C-alpha cells in the first residue's frame, strides 16, 4: 500500500489533488479529515464557596422520601 498525504487549505467545497504516477490504474481511498478543529475549553471543577463548604449533611436515605406518602395530600 502506498500513502500520499497532503495538507490543503480548503476554500471551496471541491478540492483538486494531483496523485503520483504510481497510483494510476489502482483503486484508491480518500478520507478527508480536518486538522484544525476547535477543541472545547476544559471546564473548571466547581467548588462551593469557602463559607458554606463542608456544612451540608445528608439526612436519611437519598432514594426514599423523608415524608410519608399520606402527607403528600396535605396541600390539597
10-residue averages of pLDDT along the chain (76 residues) = 84 88 90 79 85 86 77 67
- Give Cβ neighbours of residue 36 (< 8 Å, ≥ 6 apart): none
So what's the pLDDT on residue 42? 79
Q: Domain for residue 4, yes or no?
A: yes
Domain that includes residue 10, residue range = 1-35
Q: Domain for residue 30, yes or no?
A: yes
Say how many C-beta atoms besides its own lie within 10 A of residue 19's C-beta. Answer: 13
So what's the pLDDT on residue 51? 92
So what's the pLDDT on residue 75? 60
Q: Domain for residue 21, yes or no?
A: yes
Q: Domain for residue 27, yes or no?
A: yes
Q: Domain for residue 43, yes or no?
A: no
In the block, which residue shows the cell 469557602? 50
- For the stretch 27-38, what's the b/e string if a residue is b when 16 or more beta carbons lie within 10 angstroms of its beta carbon? eeeeeeeeeeee
Q: Determine the 3-state secondary structure of 23 from DSSP.
A: helix
> Considering its fold, how many domains does the chain have in total?
1
Amino acid at each position: 500500500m502506498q500513502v500520499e498525504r497532503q495538507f490543503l487549505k480548503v476554500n471551496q467545497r471541491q478540492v483538486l489533488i494531483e496523485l503520483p504516477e504510481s497510483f494510476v490504474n489502482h483503486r484508491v481511498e480518500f478520507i478527508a479529515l480536518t486538522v484544525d478543529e476547535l477543541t472545547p475549553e476544559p471546564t473548571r471543577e466547581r467548588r462551593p464557596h469557602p463559607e458554606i463548604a463542608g456544612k451540608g449533611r445528608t439526612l436519611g436515605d437519598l432514594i426514599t422520601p423523608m415524608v410519608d406518602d399520606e402527607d403528600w395530600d396535605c396541600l390539597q
